[in-house]
Amino acid sequence: MSATRVFPMYTVENVEKSVAWYRDVFGGELAKTFEHEGKVMGAAINYGQVGIWLSQDDFEKGRDRQKGEGFRIILETEESVDDLAAGIKERGGELLMEPKDQPWGSRVFALADPDGYKISISSPLKEE
């Protein structure tokens, strides 16, 4: 198999709140919403060629189920990691980790969305 793109999909507590966060705080572009019987049940948010999809939780597994545990997505960018982190903070986002140089050669910061899904933003690995 040779895939061309990947879209992680997060099941979220409140899809409209999550769309606002991914668009307004995290800086994405709302590409599409998915409706059922006139209600938004999902959305696609794009960051250049990368997309994150959101799906409204149907709560069949209960309202208290933990989201985001054991999973992290890492988005690599050529943009300034420090500038991106500053922009997120200016728009009301909170970082789990400030931008920091890593031993493997990239600069990374981390944050979590409203449901606790963890996201790291990384510069490319430096060639040795």
Q: Measured between alpha carbons, how far apart are the two ends of the chain, in Å?
A: 30
Three-state secondary structure call for residue 109: strand
Neighbours of 119 (CB within 10 A): 19
pLDDT tens series, the chain, 128 aa: 887 888 899 999 999 999 999 999 999 999 999 999 999 999 999 999 899 999 999 888 888 877 777 789 999 999 999 999 999 999 999 999 999 999 999 999 999 999 999 999 999 987 76
Task: With residue 50 as reference, give the H or E element that holds it.
Answer: strand 50-56
Domains of the chain: residue spans and CATH: 9-57+67-122 (3.10.180.10)
What pLDDT, on the 0 to 100 scale, is given for residue 3?
Answer: 78
What pLDDT, on the 0 to 100 scale, is given for residue 128?
Answer: 61
